């Protein structure tokens, strides 16, 4: 049977017509007859399309603000002024956080002093120094509510992790509320360190490159896991600092530089001279060291303070004088890691602690070099001194045993 070809309007009519579409059609017909209603309807449609378009543009602008150039970002001391949290569903805590870094950088009168700080401490087999470390943290005069503490425990064979957690809980639950920190995070992550953490094990020249590269990776891991958009500063601190001013954070901040390190010495028993410049990793580059670097293999790392690497650099540690002004600073190329204050924008810009040979250096010394390469200010304070603890070496212990046997004082 030959099929019947229906005219166009009838073909439409063959579709099953629901009650809804029948009503819609009759409404459309009526509206077409009334010219005014017809016009008003189309204006409404146009307004709707325009609104959707404007919304799209607004969203794009917000996205652009989010990827603001971090080089020009100054995170303000009160980031809540510039952040908003849009809660969508209180029950499940779903929210969208918005940080306007552009606005912050455009404020003319605000300085970089103050602001929230991330305090990072790596730890390995450090149970013997935990009390000392917590005393220092407790005494810090920088407002504790502005400090987030982040600990990374790695490759430890002692009780560091358990004791650390215990003490952190005690610290956060004490009666003195101004001592409570905004947040404490404890992370456990082994990076495969096999070199002993004893004083002689870790000071041998041949283990330095491996140890420093591994520490670089550990530091980067801790930082990238904990740095948040609302942090203005990052303070790196070793656990084995014996003496340090309680106001160190604000003292270093006052210089308002990208990276600032104090001088690091260590106390010694009287029979060894009483005191000694300690951290030789903060230095000013020399032409001899650049020449030395050019003779090394790509993966080699220069480690400062060893006769095997004659660099003839100026060390921050040796510039100290007891009468020197605490305000004095010098520009550095390499920095030690015992106590580093850096603006958070340094890390947001991509600087890190190389876990490989970068310009013949790794970890904190590589970090100093990288920051300089990126045009940042890196300074050291020759007369502002903190004290690393003294741990007797095997030789010192032997000597002390002999002295004791001879009835000589060993303090
Ligand atoms: N997570 C982690 N922390 C480490 C590791 N090695 C050392 N640390 C910690 O990092 C900080 C610095 O390490 P130290 O061994 O004191 O090294 P240093 O201060 O650079 O040098 P010296 O004290 O002179 O040997 C301390 O708080 C250590 O407990 C490691 O492999 N993993
Ligand atoms: Mg140390």
Q: What is the pLDDT of residue 55?
A: 55
Q: What is the pLDDT of residue 280?
A: 96
DSSP code, position 83: E
Q: What is the pLDDT of residue 376?
A: 97
Q: Say which residue the tokens 């540690």 belong to.
A: 317
Q: Whose CA is nearest to atom 15 of ligand 1?
A: 197
For ligand 1, say whether the CB of 238 is within 6 Å of any of its atoms: yes
Q: Which ligand 1 atom sits nearest the alpha carbon of residue 125?
A: 29
Pocket test residue of 131, 133, 210, 215 for ligand 1, highest count of atoms within 8 A of CB: 215
Protein residues within 5 Å, CB atom, of ion ligand 2: 238, 240
Domain residue ranges of the chain, discontinuous segments joined by +? 70-106, 116-391
In Å, how far are 18, 20, 224, 295, 327 from 14, measured between CA atoms? 12, 16, 64, 88, 91
Report the CATH superfamily, name and number, of domain 116-391. Answer: Spore Coat Polysaccharide Biosynthesis Protein SpsA; Chain A (3.90.550.10)
Q: What is the pLDDT of residue 66?
A: 34
* Of 307, 292, 290, 308, nearest in space to 369 by CA: 290
Q: For residue 28, which phi and psi values (nearest 5 degrees)?
A: -65, -40
Q: What angle do CA 337, 341, 344 make, to 5 degrees?
A: 115
Q: Rg for the chain (alpha carbons), in Å?
A: 32
Q: Whose CA is nearest to atom 6 of ligand 1?
A: 124
Q: Which residues contact 280 (CB under 8 A, 6 or more apart)?
A: 304, 305, 315, 317, 336
Length of the chain: 411
For ligand 1, say whether the CB of 130 is within 6 Å of any of its atoms: no
Q: What is the pLDDT of residue 73?
A: 34
Q: Say which residue the tokens 């330095």 belong to.
A: 208
Instruction: DSSP for 189-231, please give it.
Output: ------S--SHHHHH-HHHHHHHHHHHHHHHHHHHHHH--TTE
**Ligand 2 centroid to residue 239 C-alpha, Å:** 7
Q: Which residues contact 136 (CB under 8 A, 6 or more apart)?
A: 241, 244, 246
Q: What is the pLDDT of residue 201?
A: 76
**Ligand 2 centroid to residue 9 C-alpha, Å:** 88
Ligand found nearest the CA of 336 = 1
Distance in angstroms (rounded) separating the CA atoms of residues 263 and 244: 11
Q: Which ligand 1 atom sits nearest the alpha carbon of residue 193?
A: 31
Cβ atoms of 336 and 282 closer than 8 Å:
yes
Q: Which residues contact 168 (CB under 8 A, 6 or more apart)?
A: 149, 151, 184, 186
For ligand 1, say whether the CB of 126 is within 6 Å of any of its atoms: yes
Q: Which ligand 1 atom sits nearest the alpha carbon of residue 197?
A: 15
Task: Per residue of the chain (411 residues), give pLDDT as tens.
Answer: 334 343 444 334 334 455 555 665 676 677 667 777 778 777 887 887 776 666 554 444 433 333 333 333 334 444 444 556 555 555 556 678 888 887 665 444 344 457 899 999 999 999 999 999 999 999 999 999 999 999 999 999 999 999 999 999 999 998 888 999 999 999 999 998 888 767 777 777 888 899 999 999 999 999 999 999 989 999 999 999 999 999 999 999 999 999 999 999 999 999 888 999 999 999 999 999 999 999 999 999 999 989 999 999 999 999 999 899 999 999 999 999 999 999 999 999 999 999 999 999 999 999 999 999 999 999 999 999 999 999 888 888 888 888 888 888 878
Ligand found nearest the CA of 164 = 1
For ligand 1, say whether the CB of 216 is within 6 Å of any of its atoms: no
For ligand 1, say whether the CB of 335 is within 6 Å of any of its atoms: no
Pocket test residue of 120, 121, 124, 185 for ligand 1, highest count of atoms within 8 A of CB: 124
């Amino acid at each position: 049977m030959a099929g019947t070809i229906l005219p166009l309007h009838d073909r439409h009519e063959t579709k099953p017509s629901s009650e809804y579409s029948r009503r819609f059609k009759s409404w459309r017909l009526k509206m077409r007859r009334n010219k005014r209603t017809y016009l008003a309807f189309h204006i409404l449609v146009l307004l709707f399309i325009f609104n959707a378009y404007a919304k799209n543009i607004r969203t794009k602008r917000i996205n652009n603000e989010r990827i603001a150039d971090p080089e020009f970002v100054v995170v303000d001391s009160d980031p809540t002024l510039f952040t908003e949290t849009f809660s969508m569903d209180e029950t499940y805590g779903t929210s969208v956080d918005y940080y306007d870094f552009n606005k912050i950088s455009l404020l003319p009168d605000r300085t970089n002093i103050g602001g929230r700080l991330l305090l990072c401490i790596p730890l390995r087999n450090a149970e013997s120094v935990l009390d000392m470390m917590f005393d220092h943290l407790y005494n810090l005069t920088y407002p504790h509510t502005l400090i987030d503490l982040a600990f990374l425990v790695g490759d430890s064979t002692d009780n560091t992790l358990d004791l650390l957690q215990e003490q952190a809980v005690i610290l956060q639950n004490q009666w003195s509320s101004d001592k409570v920190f905004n947040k404490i995070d404890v992370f456990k992550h082994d990076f495969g360190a096999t070199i002993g953490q004893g004083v002689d094990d870790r000071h041998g020249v041949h283990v330095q490159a491996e140890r420093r590269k591994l520490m670089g990776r550990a530091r980067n891991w801790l930082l990238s896991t904990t740095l948040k958009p609302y942090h203005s500063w990052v303070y790196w601190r070793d656990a084995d600092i014996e003496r340090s001013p309680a106001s160190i954070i604000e003292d270093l901040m006052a210089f308002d530089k990208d990276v600032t390190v104090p001088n690091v010495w260590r106390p010694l028993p009287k029979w060894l001279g009483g005191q000694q410049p300690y951290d030789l990793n903060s230095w000013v580059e020399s032409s001899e060291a650049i020449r030395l670097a050019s003779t090394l293999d790509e993966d080699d790392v220069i480690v400062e303070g060893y006769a095997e690497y004659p660099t003839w650099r100026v060390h921050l540690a040796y510039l100290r004088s007891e009468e020197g002004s605490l305000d004095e600073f010098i520009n550095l190329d390499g920095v030690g890691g015992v106590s580093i204050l850096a603006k958070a924008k340094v890390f947001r810009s991509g600087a890190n602690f190389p876990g490989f040979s970068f310009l013949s250096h790794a970890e904190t010394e590589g970090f100093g070099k990288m920051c300089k390469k990126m045009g940042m200010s890196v300074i050291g304070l020759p007369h502002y001194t903190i004290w690393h603890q003294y741990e007797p070496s095997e030789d010192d212990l032997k000597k002390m045993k002999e002295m004791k046997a001879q009835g000589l004082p060993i303090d």
